[in-house]
Amino acid sequence: MIKIKNLHANVEGTEILKGINLEVNPGEIHAIMGPNGSGKSTLANVLAGHEAYEVTAGEIIFDDTNIIEMDPDERAREGLFLAFQYPIEIPGVSNAVFLKTAINEIRKHNGVEEISAKDFLALIREKAEILGMDSSLISRSVNQGFSGGEKKRNEILQLLTLNPKLAVLDETDSGLDIDALKIVSHGVNEFKNENNAVILVTHYQRLLDYIIPDFVHVLYKGKIVKSGDKNLALELEERGYDWIIKEQPQTV
Amino acid sequence: MSKEKNIKNWYLDNFNKFEEKVKADSFSSFRKEATSKFENSEFPTRKEEEWKYTNVSPILDHEFTPAPLFIDESKDLQSIEEYKIENLDVHLLVFKNGVFDKVLSNIEEVEDGIIIESLYNLSKSNPEFISKHLSKNNKTINAFNLLNNAFTYDGFVVYVPKNKVVEKPIHILNIASDSINKPLVQPRNLVVAEENSQVKIITEYIGNKNAEYFTNILTEISVDENANVTFYKLQNESTTAYHIDKTDIYQKGSSVFNHFSLSFGSKIARNDINVKLDGEQIESHLYGLYLGNEEQHIDHHTFIEHAKPNCMSNELYKGILDDKARGVFSGKILVDQIAQKTNAFQSNKSVLLSNDASVDAKPQLEIYADDVKCSHGATVGKLDEEAYFYIQSRGVSAEAARSMLIRAFIDDVVSEIKIDELREKVNHTIFEHLQRVEF
């Protein structure tokens, strides 16, 4: 589904990603873990096409197309979704307008006719219910006045309604209490099937108790330094990151 | 001879032609007096504090011909359907180049005593009314205002007697049509709402694309005890036109006045909105929206005088400026010494879509009472880049994302328009305007 090859990226002239290689196939869940500052969020943002991040080398092949030159909206229409670590508040734009516009742009791209008002409402109700959300939220402004947990849930609501091929979840677990974490995880598991894929970016192993990854990768100083299965996450939980860092060749 | 002197002479010459043409009417002596004052007045320059952000010199480069010396022969105005507010039942008054057009207008029957009429017609049928009410609340006279006075001829008059309600909104459509002449359009408008009356007025200024003309407006609005007046102004002039408007509002106790200045057009626009709150328990709401691009210059000056205690005024102005467009907002609030328990709020926010666009914001509070709540705030910024990315990341094109954010930014002004059909029209105008904006 997606192949990341030798990806290098800068933020304000500083190299953050220093050669990432990663392949994710349909039906797989990959967890990207690592200490703070290792480049996890940068990777998520680069995948989504944030213009503050400059790709200096490498390729991102998504469904056989290199998407490096694509704008964020084009990537989204191709089926890539980023759940934000810090979802943005947009006063004055209702969730309904926001989601309906997004759904229709993606539909238009796929040659499907626009969603009817009735179908749209039914879709929102169905997906909101999975997340225990009140569908009246659609008349409220996007994320405005939402608690941290509500914002994260709203990200997953968008994931479920837009139904992309690849979901990149950037620290969706951060700031969530255990109940909210269960709800959000339930949403992601509802989304997941054999034709789509998930990349989970997380600092903590806890999320992986509820969303079981097929692969776990450790990102350190802009590179994937260790890969394994879900047991690697458990080991990290127990031992921290230091032992992996110590395994790395010292650079001056 | 200086440019200014030349243009003054041009208008003074025209004054004589004008008097010959319109013959003696009830405004003759009024005009004559104004003309001699105009002769001795100066056009404002940037050296004056109130004009330091707006250079009117380009307006003085043109020789505009005052209505009704300008005879509109254009046949392209047979239909005004496209300018009507869809699905809204109104009293419609149409002015072409500043002169009332009875055929295109449609004033429906109203209750006894209510007047909805052109100034010209009313000056013939009821000159006593005019002399009783006109120029009662007209202050800070400059050369532009005097120019309007010197050619007083037409405009609209709305009079609502005590306890009466004008149910349907009044829509006043001012159309400047393209022609070989450059018309000087000078509406002289008057609104008198007596005690406990209610009325909603929508004034609209439009012009043919690329038409060069100058609209120079004077409007007086008097809102008596417990009256409720809402006044909408849609300024959608040609972007090659000039627009100067002074509106003076006088409010008495327990009255409510809402003003909307929605500015989209003109090359240079200057709006002076002066409100005097001369009674207790008054509410004044001034809303503004300005969308400028290319080299448009849109200036709003508001002046609110709290002359009595226990009143509230609220100003909310929002602007979107692109290309080399420039916005000006100067909001002065004066709280007299006796005006205790005044609540005065003012907010002006602008978004710049290009590096060459600019805004000058100047709040001025002059407070002589000690028990008041006054606040003001001005912000200038860019569209929230993170919000922009967020919307785009959901598959929405850059253009649509920007439009969504702009609409969100101005929503708190637009949503205050309580006539749904008008709000639709304004939304449509905003949409058309944003289409002009390059992304």
Q: What separation in angstroms does the CA of B425 have from each of B58, B89, B204, B205, B267?
A: 31, 14, 11, 14, 22
Residue A155 lies in a domain: yes
> What would the pLDDT profile of B254-289 be if each residue is shown by its tens digit?
999 999 999 999 999 999 999 999 999 999 999 999
> What would the pLDDT profile of B7-35 be if each residue is shown by its tens digit?
999 999 999 888 888 877 788 888 999 99
pLDDT, average across residues B309-321? 97
> What would the pLDDT profile of B108-164 be if each residue is shown by its tens digit?
999 999 999 999 999 999 999 998 998 876 666 899 999 999 999 999 999 999 999
Q: Which secondary structure element, helix H or strand E, spans residue B179, and what is its range?
A: none
CA distance B395 to chain A (A): 4
Nearest of A141, A197, A151, A199 to residue A174 by alpha carbon: A151
Residue A252 lies in a domain: no
Mean pLDDT estimate for chain B: 92
Q: Are strands B242-251 and B214-223 parallel, antiparallel or unpaired?
A: parallel
pLDDT at A252 over 80: no
Distance of CA A231 to the CA centre of its chain: 22
What residues of chain A lie within 8 A of the CB of B407, using their CB? 92-93
Mean pLDDT estimate for chain A: 93
Q: Do B260 and B290 touch, CB atoms closer than 8 A?
A: no
Number of folded domains in chain B?
1
Residue B424 lies in a domain: no
Which domain covers residue B178, as residue numbers? 3-383
Cα–Cα distance measured from residue A94 to residue A76, given in angstroms and rounded to the nearest whole number: 20
Q: Which secondary structure element, helix H or strand E, spans residue B95, and what is its range?
A: strand B91-96
> What would the pLDDT profile of B389-417 be if each residue is shown by its tens digit?
999 999 999 888 988 899 889 989 999 99
Q: What percent of chain B has pLDDT over 70?
A: 95
CA distance A131 to chain B (A): 19
Distance of CA B285 to the CA centre of its chain: 15
Residue from A101, A106, A110, A140 whose CB has the most chain B CBs within 10 Å, to mutate: A101
CA distance A103 to chain B (A): 8
> What would the pLDDT profile of A122-168 be if each residue is shown by its tens digit?
999 999 999 999 888 888 999 999 999 999 999 999 999 999 999 99
Residue A143 lies in a domain: yes
Nearest-CB residue to B408 (from A90, A105, A109): A90
By C-alpha distance, the chain A residue nearest B414 is A92
> What would the pLDDT profile of A210-229 be if each residue is shown by its tens digit?
999 999 999 999 999 999 99
Q: pLDDT: is A246 or A1 the higher one?
A: A1
Q: Do A126 and A170 touch, CB atoms closer than 8 A?
A: no
Q: pLDDT: is A64 or A251 the higher one?
A: A64
Q: Is the ipTM of this complex over 0.90?
A: yes
Residue B370 lies in a domain: yes
For the entire predicted model, the pTM comes to: 0.85
Q: How confident is the model at residue B71 (pLDDT cuts 50, 70, 90)?
A: low
Residue A98 lies in a domain: yes
Residue B410 lies in a domain: no
pLDDT, average across residues B64-73? 73
Residue A219 lies in a domain: yes
Nearest of B85, B93, B87, B70 to residue B177 by alpha carbon: B70
For position A251, what pLDDT does the model report?
A: 56
Q: pLDDT: is B79 or A68 the higher one?
A: A68
pLDDT, average across residues B84-89? 93
pLDDT at B304 over 70: yes
For position A83, what pLDDT does the model report?
A: 97
For position B439, what pLDDT does the model report?
A: 44
Residue B187 lies in a domain: yes
Residue with tokens 């002015």: B95
CATH code of the domain covering residue A173: 3.40.50.300
CB-based contact B386 A88, cutoff 8 Å: yes
- Cβ–Cβ contact A87 with B under 8 A: yes
Residue from A50, A51, A73, A170 whose CB has the most chain B CBs within 10 Å, to mutate: A73
Cα–Cα distance measured from residue A227 to residue A112, given in angstroms and rounded to the nearest whole number: 40
Nearest of B297, B361, B351, B299 to residue B320 by alpha carbon: B351
What residues of chain B lie within 8 A of the CB of A99, using their CB? 394
pLDDT, average across residues B302-330? 97
Which domain covers residue A83, as residue numbers? 2-247
For position B66, what pLDDT does the model report?
A: 87
By C-alpha distance, the chain B residue nearest A90 is B387
> What would the pLDDT profile of A154-207 be if each residue is shown by its tens digit?
999 999 999 999 999 999 998 899 999 999 999 999 999 999 999 999 988 889
Number of folded domains in chain A?
1
Cα–Cα distance measured from residue B130 to residue B25, given in angstroms and rounded to the nearest whole number: 12
